Amino acid sequence: MRTPDFTLTAGPTMSSQKVLAALGRQITFDYDPVFLDLFRDTERLLAQAFRTDGDVVLMQGEAVLGLEAAARGLVREGMRCLNLVSGVYAAWFGEWMRAYGGDVHEVRVPYDEALDPELVASALREQGPFELVAMVHSETPSGVENPLAEIGPIVHEHGAMLLADVVSALAGTDVRIDEWHVDLAVAGPQKCLAGPPGMSLIAISERAWAAMEANPSAPRGSFLSLLDWKHRWIDGGREAFPYTPSVSDVNGVHAALSEALEAGIEATIARHAAAARAVRAGVQAMGLSLWPKRSEYAANCVTATRLPAGVGTDALLTHVRNRYGVMLSGGYGELKHELVRLGHMGPASRSLNPLVAVCALGRGLIDLGANVDIGAGAAATMEVLSQASAEA
Ligand SMILES: *Cc1c(COP(=O)(O)O)cnc(C)c1O
């Protein structure tokens, strides 16, 4: 089977030539001065992308590893935690907090809605105090973005630490770790940064480090240990790794971060926002409904779309992949068969890729017997893309 011509998915997504070239570079010794410099420079670029003056850790292993490491490092037996759940990944994170002994309370909204800062404030007021609050910034499975900018300061005011899954948010929407008082954030390189899958990009505040140091059950001497990174790499003057880094992945992440920052983080975010607006306009003009109830909180990374009655997600994805060489995503977790997701991250947000996504979906649905107005969808998508590129 051929590789698809267009990977317009919920991640991993297509990478640029620059990232691909970096991934293909000769493998170096991890203590070669060239690699050590590149590793330190990758940390510097990541801190810039996160807008933090605090520490960052580049852990290898997909972003789920970083999230698990964060949960195990921070959560203690009996710790009062508040989990803010608006989607699949937040629910998953809550399971970890419970598994590591947390006394977990929840604020829950339906998966097609965003978290309401007022609800969060009243939970903190009425059920608090909490030591740790956890949330997902951009819920990729449902294409919903939560207002981290508003929730961060509320959590801070109530004295709790804040952990945020920003895996698909970084470079796709505004992420401000220091300004919003986020104590621990985990991002993934294979979403809006369009780098290789296989690393966790983590920001950690002094307060979060102190909580881990004070936690007797935080992993130590383990692949899952954030503290090993602090003790060996950071406190040791950034000269000794706790274990051998994935040299090629780090090269790829360095290239991806450089590209996003050279274009400018604002311009990179604006490009993702425009692609998302274009796809939303196209999908709706075709006669389909978005999964999120309101487009104001639809995410910039993917557009989650409800399917017309009678068309199954799996049949649609297979058909579009086979006939047009376009790979789209279905739902994930509890939403697996409920919706289709059109990804617009990294190169997938450039040029006419949003049009390809909308037309592949539209024509795929027509081929399978549904009635959508593909012409209206294409025109609406192009209208947004045209205006956005004229303004850029
Ligand atoms: C993709 C994603 C993850 C998981 O990242 P992996 O690198 O696939 O482990 C977690 N949370 C969110 C919000 C994501 O989009």
Does residue 144 fall inside a structural domain?
A: yes
For ligand 1, atom 6, the nearest C-alpha belongs to: 63
CB 130 less than 6 A from any atom of ligand 1: no
Q: What CATH number is given to the structural domain containing 189? A: 3.40.640.10
- Quote the tokens at residue 378: 């294409």
CB 140 less than 6 A from any atom of ligand 1: yes
The predicted pLDDT at position 334 comes to 81
Looking at 235, 262, 289, the residue that finishes a domain is 262
Residues 269 and 254 in one domain: no
Residues 98 and 74 in one domain: yes
The predicted pLDDT at position 346 comes to 98
Does residue 60 fall inside a structural domain?
A: yes
CB 92 less than 6 A from any atom of ligand 1: no
Q: What CATH number is given to the structural domain containing 298? A: 3.90.1150.10
Radius of gyration of the chain (CA): 21
CB 167 less than 6 A from any atom of ligand 1: yes
Looking at 212, 247, 262, the residue that finishes a domain is 262
Question: Mean pLDDT in each 10-residue stretch from start to end of the chain (392 residues)?
Answer: 95 98 98 98 98 98 97 98 98 98 98 98 98 98 98 98 98 98 98 98 98 98 97 97 97 98 98 98 98 98 96 96 98 86 98 98 98 98 97 86
For ligand 1, atom 5, the nearest C-alpha belongs to: 63
Does residue 351 fall inside a structural domain?
A: yes
Residues 242 and 370 in one domain: no
Contact 88, 146 (CB under 8 A): no
Does residue 1 fall inside a structural domain?
A: no
Residue 335: name the closest of 100, 16, 91 by CA.
91
Give dist(CA 147, CA 180) in Å, integer.
Answer: 11
DSSP 232: I
Give dist(CA 353, CA 194) in Å, integer.
Answer: 14
Which residues does residue 319 pair with via DSSP β-bridges, in sequence order? none
The predicted pLDDT at position 338 comes to 82
Residues 6 or more apart in contact with residue 234 via CB below 8 angstroms: 55, 57
Does residue 337 fall inside a structural domain?
A: yes
Residues 43 and 182 in one domain: yes
Residue 195: name the closest of 34, 22, 4 by CA.
22
Residues 157 and 44 in one domain: yes
CB 65 less than 6 A from any atom of ligand 1: no
The predicted pLDDT at position 204 comes to 98
The predicted pLDDT at position 1 comes to 87
DSSP 101: T
Buried b (16+ CB within 10 A) or exposed e, 151-185: bbebbbebebbbbbbbbbbbbbbbbebeebbbbbb
Q: Which atom of ligand 1 is nearest to the CA of 188?
A: 7
DSSP 136: E
Phi-psi region at 308: left, alpha or beta (left = phi > 0; alpha = psi -120 to 50): beta
Looking at 218, 239, 262, the residue that finishes a domain is 262
Residues 175 and 61 in one domain: yes
**Which residue do the tokens 């480090």 mark?**
209
Residues 93 and 152 in one domain: yes
63 C-alpha to ligand 1 centroid (Å): 6
Give dist(CA 216, CA 211) in Å, integer.
Answer: 10
Does residue 336 fall inside a structural domain?
A: yes
The predicted pLDDT at position 336 comes to 83
Give dist(CA 134, CA 214) in Å, integer.
Answer: 19
CB 43 less than 6 A from any atom of ligand 1: no
Residues 199 and 338 in one domain: no
11 C-alpha to ligand 1 centroid (Å): 8
Give dist(CA 64, CA 69) in Å, integer.
Answer: 8
10 C-alpha to ligand 1 centroid (Å): 9
Does residue 111 fall inside a structural domain?
A: yes
Contact 132, 75 (CB under 8 A): yes
CB 73 less than 6 A from any atom of ligand 1: no
The predicted pLDDT at position 333 comes to 84
Q: Is the pTM of this model over 0.85?
A: yes
Does residue 175 fall inside a structural domain?
A: yes
Residues 90 and 172 in one domain: yes
379 C-alpha to ligand 1 centroid (Å): 32
3-state secondary structure of 223: coil
Residues 6 or more apart in contact with residue 196 via CB below 8 angstroms: 12, 15, 19, 23, 189, 190, 248, 249, 252, 253, 256
Residue 376: name the closest of 281, 276, 273 by CA.
281
CB 111 less than 6 A from any atom of ligand 1: no
Residues 91 and 168 in one domain: yes
Contact 86, 146 (CB under 8 A): yes
Q: Which atom of ligand 1 is nearest to the CA of 168?
A: 15
375 C-alpha to ligand 1 centroid (Å): 34
Instruction: Let me know how long the chain is.
Output: 392
Q: Which atom of ligand 1 is nearest to the CA of 190?
A: 7
DSSP letters, 247-291, are: HHHHHHHHHHHHHHHHH-HHHHHHHHHHHHHHHHHHHHHTT--BS
Phi-psi region at 239: left, alpha or beta (left = phi > 0; alpha = psi -120 to 50): alpha
Residues 194 and 318 in one domain: no
Structural domains of the chain, count: 2
Range of the domain at 69: 17-262
CB 165 less than 6 A from any atom of ligand 1: yes
Pocket probe mutation, ligand 1, options 9, 191, 201, max atoms within 8 Å of Cβ: 191
Residues 350 and 205 in one domain: no
